[in-house]
Structures are given as structure tokens and as C-alpha cells.
Structure 1
Amino acid sequence: MTRGRKLQILLGIPAVLLLFVFLILPLTGMVEMSFRTSGTNAPYGDGFTTSHYVRVLGDSFFMTTLLRSLVTAAIVTALCLIVSYPLAWHLSKARGGKALLLYACIASPLMTGVLVRNFGWMIVTAIDGPLNASLIGLGLISRPLRLLFTQGLVIMALVHVFVPFMVLPINNALRNINPALSEASLSLGAGRVSTFLRIILPLSFPGIQPGVILVFVLSVAAYVTPALLGGQMVNLMPTLIIRELTGTFAWPFGSTLAIVMSVATLSIVICFSLLTAKLMERVRA
């Protein structure tokens, strides 16, 4: 074994250890816990069973909640993409102080604590909050709207915080596009819309794909925002999981819910990656 090969192995050991300790071990423990029997005086029993999976997969309530979580995540991802692409476009063209200002504005949701940010949404959207007061004052509505504890508010709040995770990879992809390609297209008679759809948009897909996957996974697993802004009126899978794990201390059943949600999310991510693999290969070629 060469010296360079030994150095590569030594440098890779910390990463492997981190993955093993913080990913593989917890996931293995979660899978094992999902097959444990329910305990009477303890969070779990000594035996093993598949009844938890039968219960989850056979109960329409849990399947509906899972579907609602996945659909909510898909809507959040789509809205983030719609909002983020123009921001990433302007950010990729900005230089100097303007670029720093745009970076600060885009990253601002991440600079505020999750509790502070969500309590801000609660204050703004309350029945007697400033948003309803402004709409009534402008004559747009006659009575206050119930915005708090709705799925729409949860989606809006998630879009607000996850936009930076979509903007930054798209911005990097747009910056890597050679400006000469657009100039050549325009000089050959193609319009700006045609140039964007045929050149810019496909070449920016290496930023769109990871941004979509990242935002989708984060949206499915989001807990604090749906719990605070959705309350008991919006049931999503993470809130059910935490309720089982910490509320009733039903660790095996809560672990089963987590595994089912993870498998469903991973399946969607794999399907999306396979469907977009050819486009990624064409762009990289």
C-alpha cells in the first residue's frame, strides 16, 4: 500500500466514525426498537413483534397523516423553488456590496432562533394581530381571518425558513454557467425566453436537484414549526412521532412511525433522483 493511499485512509477514518456514531448506530437502534413489544411499566418490552407495522400500515389515520406530511413537503418544496430561482438569479449576477447584502437578506431567516421566529408568526397572524388589523383597515376583509393553526400558515412558515437551502445551490450552479453560452444563443437569433428554457434552466439543474431534495427532506422532518403554528389542528407525521416517543412513552410504536416516514421519504427521493438522472448526465457531459 502506497503512502498516499495510507494517508487517504487515515483522513477518511474520522468521517467514517462520525457516520457510524451519529447515523448508523441511531438508525440501527431505531429499527430494532420498532420491532420491540410494548412495555407495561417501561417504554418497551423484552420481546419482538411486527404488530406495530401492521397497525401503522393498516390504519387509515396514520396513512392519511403520512400522505399529508409528504404532500405538505412537496408544496413547500415547489414554492421554495418558485421563490428561490429569481433570488438565486439576481444573487448570481450581483457583485461586491450588493452580493453581501443579498446574501444577508436570504440567510436572515436562519439567523433567528426557531422559537423566536415561530412566535413572531403567531403574533403577526393572531386574530387581533397586525396582519388582520391591516387587512380590516384597508377594507379588504370585514372580519378577522383565522390564520393561526392552519396548514397554510405552516407551509408559509416552512417556505420562509427553507428558501436559503434552495437559493444557495441554485446560485452556485448559475455562477458556473459560462456567460458565452447565453451570448451565443442570443446572437444566433434565439429570444431570451428560449435561451433561458433551453440553456440556462437545464444547466442550472445541478443546483435545482440537490436543493429540491434537501428542502423536501427537511420539510418532511420539520417538527417545531408544525407543532407551534399547526397545533392540534394540523396533524403531521413528526408531531405524531414526538407525541408517541415523549408523550405516551410508546417507544416501539413511535420508532415504527419514524421508520415508515423515513422509508417513504427515501423512496420518493430515490425515484426523483432516478427520474432526473439522465438530465444530470446530459448537463455534466
Structure 2
Amino acid sequence: MKTRLLLGLPAVALLLLFFVLPYVEMVAMSFRAPASGLPFGEGHTLLHYQRALGDTLYLGALGRSLLMGGVVTLLCLLLSFPLALHLSRTQGRWHVVFFACIVSPLLIGVLVRNFGWMLLLTVDGPANRWLLAAGLIERPLRVLFTPGLVVLALVHVFTPFMVLPIATALRNISPALREASTSLGAGRFETFWRVTLPLAFPGVQAGVVLVFVLSVAAYVTPALLGGQGVALMPAIVVRELIGSFAWPFGAALAVVMAVATLSVVAVFTLLTQGLAERTRA
């Protein structure tokens, strides 16, 4: 027992150092009093939370962030399930090739990837030139600095985070269950709906939570591809922390965003708990 405790101490120390302590410090900073010319002053106050929760600017940014996270998560799920199903059934060298294609967005730096989107979709970029040459459009499309492009770029990079847990869950389903369903007279669609999809739900649940949290907290992609026209909560938090040097208010905004995100995740988990328990049973 002592040996196992000693072996677990480094992991506990790392969690405390890099996960727990930063959050504790952020929460403590959110209650600090403001100061002129300094990041924070003496004493504590609730004014930062009153401002964050009472101003429609910040509530609107929070709502847009949660909505965009939900849209990105839904699109990733619709795109990822067929990919995960194919990945789980592919064997040999093609499995490696297909897996490499799926995770390829993660192998490119975030700045390089976003500048690639900008070069591709600029007014005189390749995409508009191809569409004009094909006669599909009469004038160049203005896609840059729009919410749609931000959603597209986030779906592109976060799809692997949805595919991999779903593919893992699908690989854990015994082929005998599908064969039993077929032998009892169920068609391919009914077998998928009644057997494959419910048993793959643990992977779906994990992927949805992971992609939603990452999408809501995304900063670089919305800042570069959305510009000033897409005001989301992470950009406002960074602006307050770095631009305005208002650490307490920026920390309060970050806490509000974290609590709202965790609340959505908790509601989703509670609503899907019954299906998860049926899957484990």
C-alpha cells in the first residue's frame, strides 16, 4: 500500500501544481480589488462578478461562445461518427493510413493552419478563383472574418478529438452482437440503431464533452479568422488580462466562462446518464 501511494505522489503533485493551483489562484484573483496603474489592489470585492453578470456585452459574448461550441460539437459529431465507424472496421496498413489522415490537422501548428485558411479563402485566393473559373459564382465570396469560417476551422481541427473516442468504443463492440441482431431478423439500419449506436455512446459522450470544452475555450482560431466581427468570451478575457491589464476582472470573466461551460457539460451528462447506464449494463 505504501509503495503504491509513493508511486502515485508524482502524479498527484503534477495535478496540484499544473491544474488545481492555477484555478485556485484564478478564483482568488477574481475577488481582488482593482487598482489604478497596477494589476490589482488591496482588499476583496464582488464588483467584478456584478459587472460580468450584469453587462449585456459580456453575457452576449458568453452566449455566442456557448452557441458556437454547441454548433461545432454537433457538426463534429455528425462528421466523426461515419469516420470512426470506418476507422474501427479498417485493418492493416489502410488503418494506419486512415488514422494518419484523421489526426493530420493536429500535426500542423495552429498559426500555420489558420494562415493557410486565410490564404485559401481570401477574396483573390485559390478557392474564389476556382469557383469563378467554374462559373459557380459571379463575384468573389467574402468568407474571412465571419462566424462560419471560425466554425469550419474549429470543426477541422477538433474532429480527431471526436473520432478517436468513438472509434475506440466501436472497436470494443463484439461482432457477435451484430451477428445475433442480424440472425434475429434485424436489418442493417435497425442493427445500427439498436446495437451499434447505443454501445458506442460512451465514446460519443466523451467526444462531445471534450470537443465542446475545447471549442468554447478556443482563442487563436476565432481571433485570427473571426477578427473584430466575432466577439467571443476567450478574446475578451485575454483583452482584459493583457490589453487592459485588469487581472481581477479578467479572472472573473474566466471563472464565469468556466462555470457556464461546466454547467452545460453537467446538464448534458445528467440528461444522458440513463443511456450511459444502459450501455454499461
TM-score of the aligned structures, taking structure 1 as reference length: 0.97
Structure 1 residue aligned with 2:218: 222
Tell me how far apart the structure 1 counterparts of residues 17 and 196 of structure 2 sit (CA, whole Å): 41
1:193 aligns with 2:189: yes
Match 1:53 to one of 40, 44, 49: 49
Quote the offset at 1:14 in angstroms.
1.2
Structure 1 residue aligned with 2:97: 101
Task: Write out the 4+ residue segments of structure 1 that deviate beyond 3 Å after TM superposition.
Answer: none
Structure 2 residue aligned with 1:247: 243
Structure 2 residue aligned with 1:121: 117
1:170 aligns with 2:166: yes
Structure 2 residue runs of 5 or longer lacking an equivalent are none
Tell me how far apart the structure 1 counterparts of residues 209 and 195 of structure 2 sit (CA, whole Å): 22
Quote the offset at 1:6 in angstroms.
1.2
How many aligned residue pairs are there? 281
Tell me how far apart the structure 1 counterparts of residues 121 and 272 of structure 2 sit (CA, whole Å): 39
Tell me how far apart the structure 1 counterparts of residues 230 and 245 of structure 2 sit (CA, whole Å): 22
Structure 1 residue aligned with 2:227: 231
3-state secondary structure, aligned to 1:147 = coil
1:140 aligns with 2:136: yes
Tell me how far apart the structure 1 counterparts of residues 12 and 42 of structure 2 sit (CA, whole Å): 31
Match 2:79 to one of 83, 101, 105: 83
Tell me how far apart the structure 2 counterparts of residues 250 and 226 of structure 1 sit (CA, whole Å): 22
1:280 aligns with 2:276: yes
Structure 2 residue aligned with 1:110: 106
Tell me how far apart the structure 1 counterparts of residues 202 and 3 of structure 2 sit (CA, whole Å): 31
Quote the offset at 1:38 in angstroms.
1.2
Tell me how far apart the structure 2 counterparts of residues 128 and 283 of structure 1 sit (CA, whole Å): 51
1:267 aligns with 2:274: no
Match 1:204 to one of 200, 205, 210: 200
1:159 aligns with 2:171: no
Structure 1 residue aligned with 2:58: 62
Tell me how far apart the structure 2 counterparts of residues 218 and 280 of structure 1 sit (CA, whole Å): 22
What whole-Å deviation, never above 9, does each CA across 1:124-145 have from its counterpart, x for those lacking one? 1101111111111111111111
Tell me how far apart the structure 2 counterparts of residues 283 and 151 of structure 1 sit (CA, whole Å): 37
RMSD value, Cα: 0.7
Tell me how far apart the structure 2 counterparts of residues 173 and 184 of structure 1 sit (CA, whole Å): 19
Identity, in percent, stands at: 62
3-state secondary structure, aligned to 2:173 = coil
One-letter code of the match for 1:56? A
3-state secondary structure, aligned to 2:101 = helix
